[in-house]
Amino acid sequence: MINNKIKLAISVGDLNGVGIEIILREHKNISRLCKPIYCINKKMLKEASKLLGINIPSNFKTYETKGSFKIKASKVSKKAGLYSYDSFIDAINLTRENKTKAVITLPINKESWSKAGIHYKGHTEVLRDIFKKHAIMMLGCEKMFVSLFTEHMALKDVVKDIKTKKILSFLLDFYSCVKEDNIAVLALNPHASDNGVLGNEEKYIIKAIKKANKILKKDVFKGPLVPDTAFSPKTRENFKYYVAMYHDQGLIPLKALYFEESINISLNLPIIRTSVDHGTAFDIAYKNINIDTKSYINAIKHAVLLNK
């Protein structure tokens, strides 16, 4: 029998967190969907396996990401941060070279990256720099997806980016990726500013929506919607895709509704990248506590789906 499962490069994330446990526990299940190539060397894999008390499966294929350090469960660590970054770079390179068909990432710790001297704030920023493309961060599941116009920045800086040209470019790029004809765009201010009473940023969002719809020659983007009612059950009957102006505006409702099953997808890139939509969970790492793996499984499934 010919095995036609696709190869996926899996970045193991911060080895002081829950990522490696998720990988080891779910290897059998995801091997039914794809051929996983894990970017971790045998020394680090054996150490994690021993600490977790989980045997390494016989068909566990690795790409030997260089480096070694002593795993310290649940600790912020310069060495763990650097290793998670190197694992990610290896996964990207495997996929760029067409040795694998997508990159799947387990969670990193931003403070550990910072301690390692890595100036990026997350995976998406790395992808933007490598490919010189404006990668779009979209999170969600089949019930609802939220894209983020601004991401990992202080709230005080978000307003500076609310400009018609920037929003228009984002909307057009987002549409080209999802090909969805009914997309909700959130306002920035409470009550969508009440016609300027609570701010004037909505005028830039309105202009961007109008220009985008004119270019596309159809009424794709709706809004700006009042943020505090945009995710009500009645509104969600009308929309599956949302554009949020800032990180928490979109991710608080998404995670309240679909935390366990949501994934992170990088759009507008020449490669496919999906990820779990949760952090390193230092509070439960290496404690043999039951870990929900739906997000990881869904990230794998979506990467496979995007290759069909």
Q: What would the pLDDT profile of 134-167 be if each residue is shown by its tens digit?
A: 999 999 999 999 999 999 889 999 999 999 999 9
| pLDDT band at residue 2 using 50, 70 and 90 as cut-offs | very low
Q: What is the pLDDT of residue 3?
A: 54
Edge-first strand order for the sheet with 221-225 is: 61-63, 35-39, 7-11, 103-105, 273-276, 263-267, 136-141, 144-148, 241-244, 183-186, 221-225
The C-alpha atoms of residue 308 and residue 292 are separated, in whole angstroms, by 27
The C-alpha atoms of residue 162 and residue 33 are separated, in whole angstroms, by 41
Amino acid, single-letter form, for residue 286: Y
Q: Give me the mean pLDDT over the 67-86 stretch.
A: 98
Reply yes or no on whether the pLDDT at 179 is more than 80: yes
- Per-residue DSSP letter, 190: G
| pLDDT band at residue 4 using 50, 70 and 90 as cut-offs | confident
Q: Give me the mean pLDDT over the 241-246 stretch.
A: 98
The C-alpha atoms of residue 277 and residue 50 are separated, in whole angstroms, by 27
Q: Do the bridges between strand 273-276 and strand 263-267 make them parallel or antiparallel, or are there none, so unpaired?
A: antiparallel
Q: What are phi and psi of 87, to 5 degrees?
A: -60, -40
Fold classified for 1-133+269-308: Isopropylmalate Dehydrogenase (3.40.718)
Positive or negative torsion for Cα 74, 77, 79, 82? positive
How does pLDDT run across 202-241, given as a tens digit for each residue? Answer: 999 999 999 999 999 999 999 999 999 999 999 999 999 9
Q: What is the pLDDT of residue 103?
A: 98
Q: Give me the mean pLDDT over the 290-308 stretch.
A: 95
Please state the domain extents for the chain: 1-133+269-308, 136-268
Q: Give me the mean pLDDT over the 284-306 stretch.
A: 95
Q: Spell out the residues 6+ positions from residue 120 whose beta carbon is closer than 8 angstroms to its own.
A: 113, 126, 129
Per CATH, 1-133+269-308 and 136-268 having the same topology is answered yes
Q: What is the pLDDT of residue 194?
A: 87
Q: Is the separation of the CB atoms in 139 and 264 below 8 Å? A: yes
Q: Is the separation of the CB atoms in 31 and 2 below 8 Å? A: no
What's the mean pLDDT when you consider all of the chain?
A: 96
Fold classified for 136-268: Isopropylmalate Dehydrogenase (3.40.718)
47 vs 197, more confident: 47
Please list, residue by residue across 253-272, b when 16 or more beta carbons sit within 10 angstroms of its beta carbon and e when fewer do.
bbbebbeebbbbbbbbbebb
Q: What is the pLDDT of residue 196?
A: 86
Q: Spell out the residues 6+ positions from residue 44 whose beta carbon is closer than 8 angstroms to its own.
A: 15, 65, 67, 68, 69, 71, 83
Supply the pTM of this predicted model.
Answer: 0.92
Q: What are phi and psi of 276, to 5 degrees?
A: -65, 155
